[in-house]
Amino acid sequence: MSQPQTNLNPQKKPTAMDRFLNGIERVGNKLPDPFFIFIYLVAFVILLSWAVGSMGVTVEHPGTGEELPIKSLISEEGLVYILSSMLDNFTGFAPLGLVLTMMLGIGLAEKVGLLETAIKRSILNAPKSFVTYAVIFIGILGNLASDASFVLIPPLAAMVFHAVGRHPLAGLAAGFAGVGSGFTANLFVAGTDALLAGISTEAAKNAGLGEIVVTPVDNWYFMIASVFVLSIVGAFITEKIIEPRLGTYKGKAEKALEEANPLEMKGLRNSAIAGIVYLGLVALALFWPDSPLRNEDGGIVPSPFLDNIIPIILFFFISVGVAYGVTVKKITSTKDIPKYMSEAIKDMSGYIVLIFAASQFISYFNWTNLGTWVAVNGAEFLTSINMTGLPVVIGFSILVSILNLIIFSGSALWALLAPVFIPMFMLLDYHPAFIQAAYRIAESTTNVITPLNPYILIVLAFMQEYDKKAGLGTLISLMLPYTIIFFAIWLVLLIVFALLGIPFGPGIGVYLP
């Protein structure tokens, strides 16, 4: 989409922050290609599993109490696992199917020109400050679509920024920050709330302090406030740190940004009609009496509807894309639809190759039990320093932020930590929902810099459409300010809620009732 360029603004005198981030970028971009980074990580895990496993190290899973050995990949069992799991690791890697499925629909809409026309019509003349807030805000709310938001929002945000004459990488960074670092916040109760609450409730049973139930709404008030605070902070970071550092975008877009013509406007109208009809049918199916899309109690969180949101989003984009393409004569026969989808998937070829190596590393790391071993020992260390009051809660969040760099799944990490920390903090009279909120802050903010986040690879691929020279260091240097500042401000918000006695959810305070 663009000619190669550097990311730095040569006309701006670098600040201390610029020099720090530029150093990270230089070091990061000197790293090998991400494919080989994961290959080297595979080799490291193999050697580490052999070294630790040969010492007979075991770890007790805090949830099940099972004694887990560190299994060596340099063994008969390990060799068989490496060979027998290789294909399943790749084809069964959940983000791969999600990304490719989403790109079938989004790619169709993009190739026929729908996304460009929608941007030109709705945001091209919007105030600069509004665009930034909107991107962060929508990115945060995007977790309603679960991991699909990682694939959908960052590239659209880049297109929005480029359309209004701003640096597309700043838009991509803002969108990724909203989706990743703000992943757990929302104005609505989402599937994440139900998932984490269930784990917290189970862990609370082990404290022996009575029947404490953590519900999906126990962090709701705090997460609503978080959406607005993070939107403001994210816009500030984008406009005051990220964009000045990037400077003016010098790349050339493949298409000139012109006002939408009458035929495009007609296509946009027809796609909107198709989208409304589709959403109406989905709503009818969802709210039909005894709908199979709702759970046994008739609720939506959790439900088969949310569990299967990806196909629903896919068919939405196909519906609006086809409606637009037919109207503007981009689609004149049924053969054109798979043709545009194929073009979209071709653009993902580099990501597919990368995922082959990444999926092996993540699978081997989990199989050896090294992740559990690191998490449990980190938890025991924090317990051993014997701090009290809010400092220990802050220390807990810092530990989570570190552990999230090696265990990306928020539910998996909480399943490991909750059985250790929920009883410990309950003995200090803290409500488990409060500790859960502290966990969610740290787990979310580091999502955009952890190398085990598989969506970093897809965001990097989108980034390289605008800057061929961009590498992993470029991406991390862009995202690090969001991680650091989001984490600090979010912790301050947690402390404000705690000190002022503001409920985190209906009837939920810092301490046990």
- pLDDT, tens digit (0-9, with 9 covering 90-100), for 69-87: 999 999 999 999 999 999 9
Hey, how many other C-beta atoms are within 10 angstroms of the C-beta on 388? 8
Sign of CA dihedral 245, 250, 251, 257: positive
CA angle 160, 166, 172 (to 5 degrees): 55
* Residue with tokens 């190596």, as numbered in its chain: 357
Enter the tokens of residue 50.
């052999």
End-to-end CA distance of the chain: 58
Percent of the chain residues topping a pLDDT of 70: 84
Please report which confidence band the pLDDT of residue 33 belongs to, taking 50, 70 and 90 as the band edges.
Answer: confident
Please report which confidence band the pLDDT of residue 3 belongs to, taking 50, 70 and 90 as the band edges.
Answer: very low
Enter the tokens of residue 14.
């670098």
CB contact at 8 A, 485 and 237: yes
Q: Any long-range contacts for 213-219 (C-beta under 8 Å, 24+ apart)?
A: 214/432, 214/433, 214/436, 215/505, 216/189, 216/301, 217/189, 217/193, 217/505, 217/506, 218/433, 218/436, 218/504, 218/505, 218/506, 218/508, 219/193, 219/433, 219/436, 219/437, 219/440, 219/504, 219/505, 219/508
Sign of CA dihedral 420, 421, 424, 427: negative
Enter the tokens of residue 173.
């960074």
Omega cis (within 30) before 10: no
Cβ partners under 8 Å of residue 492, min gap 6: none
342-369 per-residue burial string, b: 16 or more CB within 10 A, e: under 16: eebeeebebbeebbbbbbbbbbbbebbb
- State the average pLDDT for the chain: 83
pLDDT at 477 over 80: yes
CA–CA distance, 150 with 332 (Å, rounded to integer): 32
For 287-295, what is the mean pLDDT? 89
Coil vs helix vs strand at 383: helix
Q: What one-character DSSP code corresponds to residue 68? A: E
* Residue with tokens 């409060």, as numbered in its chain: 434
pLDDT at 189 over 80: no
Hey, how many other C-beta atoms are within 10 angstroms of the C-beta on 219? 29
For 494-504, what is the mean pLDDT? 95
CA–CA distance, 257 with 283 (Å, rounded to integer): 35
Coil vs helix vs strand at 164: coil
Hey, how many other C-beta atoms are within 10 angstroms of the C-beta on 66? 11
Please report which confidence band the pLDDT of residue 376 belongs to, taking 50, 70 and 90 as the band edges.
Answer: confident
| pLDDT at 1 (0 to 100) | 37
For 446-470, what is the mean pLDDT? 83
Q: What is the pTM of this model?
A: 0.69
Coil vs helix vs strand at 284: helix
